Amino acid sequence: MVGADQYRNPDEDLPIDFEERREENYKALKQPLDAEEFITNIKKSMYQALSKLDKGMPKNTKIHLSNKSNGGITLSPSDAQAEPENLTKLKTEIMRQWPMLNLLDILKESDLRLSFTDDFKTLATHEKLDRATIQKRLILALYGLGANTGLKRISAGNHGVSYLDLQYIKRKFINKDNLRNAISHVVNAILKSRVKDVWGEGTTPCASDSKKVGAWDQNLMTKYHIRYRGRGIMIYWHVEKKSACIYSQLKACSSSEVSAMIDGLLKHCTDMEIEKNFVDSHGQSEVAFAFCHLLGFNLMPRLKAIHSQKLYRP
């Protein structure tokens, strides 16, 4: 069955010749062959980090440790900087030029510049419709689905496209692989078009988190969420520092956010080089820290019960 391979034996995915090519594999991971040397390096790194925290925290005027029983940590935010004069003028000019922007116009303009609809290939053996017609219907269908307006409501507009036409486009052209390719195309264009004088150098950190979406009980992925209550599914997002979504995935309410976090870091398919990933308490674990360390990512969690955490020098 299609999709059943994700439930196969995970041992089948491991390299068969790992032992014979151990030295080459460790070199690719930039890790020593000797286990004792590997552990010593981690201990040394942790000791230096904890010593730096121990010495620096009492001198930091922005951090205050509470004497209460819960041992709360108070972090004072930095003073807000004054908004640059030119930025205010720029905002005023933008509002004068484009007081209102239609999402459909933004989607259409993006395709006119990037032709991302070319990434949507048909599942059929050939295409009978001309590409201009497919392009128009694809933009309408993507808008209807993405804005949660619905295909039936979109077909009611004065576009000359029926509900059955949009259903056909959705069934034959819109699937996960095509969407991933189009999203990668658009995100890469955003990263490439940014003016360095305004946006700075290329970003390397991103943040990931999940959002619960209500779903019908008949959906096979629908489960009851113990924290948010009610039945639904989860959408797990990876968003880079300047608010561009580089990866999203569907997950069940009870599945691990750690697995989804690592999956997005490895499979986001954009030109962005990720070095740091910010998560909440549910996106981290000891296993997550171990894998992120081996893969070269810095895992930066926001711990909910940070006052109950204890740090020990190894």
How far is 243 from 110, CA to CA, in rounded Å? 17
* pLDDT for the residue numbered 25: 85
Task: Report the candidate in 287, 259, 297, 234 with the shortest Cα–Cα distance to residue 29.
Answer: 297
Q: Are 223 and 253 in contact (CB under 8 A)?
A: yes
Q: What are phi and psi of 64, to 5 degrees?
A: -130, 130
pLDDT at 69: 64
**DSSP labels for 174-187?**
--HHHHHHHHHHHH
Between these two residues, 174 and 124, which has the higher pLDDT value? Answer: 174
State yes or no: pLDDT of 164 exceeds 90.
Answer: yes
Residue 86: both structure tokens together: 């030119």
Each residue's pLDDT tens digit, 229-238:
888 888 999 9
pLDDT at 71: 61
Q: 3 in the Ramachandran plot: left (φ > 0), alpha (ψ -120 to 50) or beta?
A: left
How many CB atoms neighbour CB 5 within 10 A?
Answer: 9
Name the H helices within the chain.
22-29, 35-56, 85-97, 103-114, 131-146, 151-155, 163-172, 176-193, 196-199, 257-267, 286-295
Confidence of residue 308 (pLDDT cuts 50, 70, 90): confident
At 74 the pLDDT is 77
The single residue listed with the structure tokens 């190894």 is: 314
Instruction: Locate 166 and state its tokens.
Output: 């949009």
Q: Which of 262, 248, 256, 314 is nearest to 292 (CA)?
A: 262
- How far from 55 is each of 59, 77, 126, 263, 308, CA to CA, in Å? 8, 21, 67, 36, 20
pLDDT of residue 157: 86
Mean pLDDT for the stretch of residues 191-204: 80
pLDDT in tens, 46-92: 899 889 988 888 888 888 777 766 667 777 888 888 888 888 898 89
Average pLDDT over residues 210-217: 84
Determine the pLDDT at residue 238: 93
pLDDT value at residue 193: 87
Cα atoms in the 13 Å half-sphere on the side-chain side of 221: 13
Crossing angle (nearest 10°) for helices 103-114 and 131-146: 140
